[in-house]
Amino acid sequence: MRVIVRTVSELCVTVGSVIVLFVVYVLFWTGVRADGVMDDQIDLLRKEWSKPRPPAGASPAGPVKPAPYAEGRPFAIMYIPRLGFTWNKPVLEGTATGTLKKGLGHYTETAELGQRGNFAVAGHRRTYGDPFKDFPELRRGDAVVLTDGTTWFTYRIDKGPYKTVPSDIEVIDPVPRTSGYTRAGRYLTLTTCEPEWGHSHRLIVWAHLDTTQPVEAGKPEALRR
């Protein structure tokens, strides 16, 4: 009996240790790794953007345009002052599991950044850097700023966080039915999981494109302290 009790006790300690290590991995290590990966994605973009470009009008093609979106590759950086003036995340093409471990993901079926339609982006609420951990704090009027290396795009939130179910794919329609918008425009949709450590629901925020300016003009007002 003593041997049985000792064995069971040792198994309980082992299982408990494994659980603790797993929690540490989920809460801490995945975040550390994700932060490093996201920083690498941003560095990749900035290096690409820093390459010399021919002046506008130097060739019949005119100014250099941002490269086409490539699956799993970064193409923009997002800033949300409400989440902190140091908050910035890379936006990659696609919403595959591996892609969302590197940053935010653009729904490929939605409009491109700044274009007419609905530019929709997803991000983890928890784990892998917790990019949208404080998503519920977003409010109407908050700025969401993005750049593709040539232009600053400032969106202003109109509605959200709005709670819905994962099957509600209409939230990323060109004119989302529950957004309050009634006609075509240049919109932004952000999506993340709800509750904080679950995925039974989704939180949604909708915004409209407010202003644009070339990067040469400096940071937009929303990012100036």
- Residues marked active site are found at 124, 193, 202
Whole-number pLDDT of residue 51: 85
> Residue 185 carries which DSSP code?
-
Whole-number pLDDT of residue 66: 78
Predicted model pTM: 0.84
Whole-number pLDDT of residue 216: 95
Q: Which residue has the tokens 């977003």?
A: 138
Whole-number pLDDT of residue 53: 63
Ranges under pLDDT 70 in the chain: 1-32, 53-65
The answer to whether 155 touches 145, Cβ cutoff 8 Å, is: yes
Whole-number pLDDT of residue 79: 98
The answer to whether 170 touches 177, Cβ cutoff 8 Å, is: yes
User: Residue 136 corresponds to which tokens in the numbers above?
Assistant: 């519920």
Give residue-wise pLDDT tens across range 150-196.
999 999 999 999 999 999 999 999 999 999 999 999 999 999 999 99
Whole-number pLDDT of residue 225: 76
- Cis peptide, bond prior to residue 161, ω within 30 of zero: yes
Report d(CA 166, CA 187) in Å as an integer.
Answer: 20
The answer to whether 73 touches 92, Cβ cutoff 8 Å, is: yes
Please give the sequence-ordered ranges of beta strands (E in DSSP) within the chain, or none if there are none.
Answer: 74-79, 88-93, 104-106, 117-122, 143-147, 151-164, 186-194, 201-214
Whole-number pLDDT of residue 14: 53
Whole-number pLDDT of residue 17: 45
Nearby residues of 11 by Cβ (< 8 Å), 6 or more positions away: none
Q: Rounding to the nearest 10 degrees, give the CA dihedral for residues 203, 102, 134, 211.
A: -80
Whole-number pLDDT of residue 77: 98
Whole-number pLDDT of residue 34: 77
Residue 18, SS3 per DSSP: helix
The percentage of the chain sitting over the pLDDT mark of 70, rounded to a whole number, equals 80
Report d(CA 30, CA 16) in Å as an integer.
Answer: 20
Nearby residues of 105 by Cβ (< 8 Å), 6 or more positions away: 91, 92, 93, 94, 95, 96, 99, 121, 122, 123
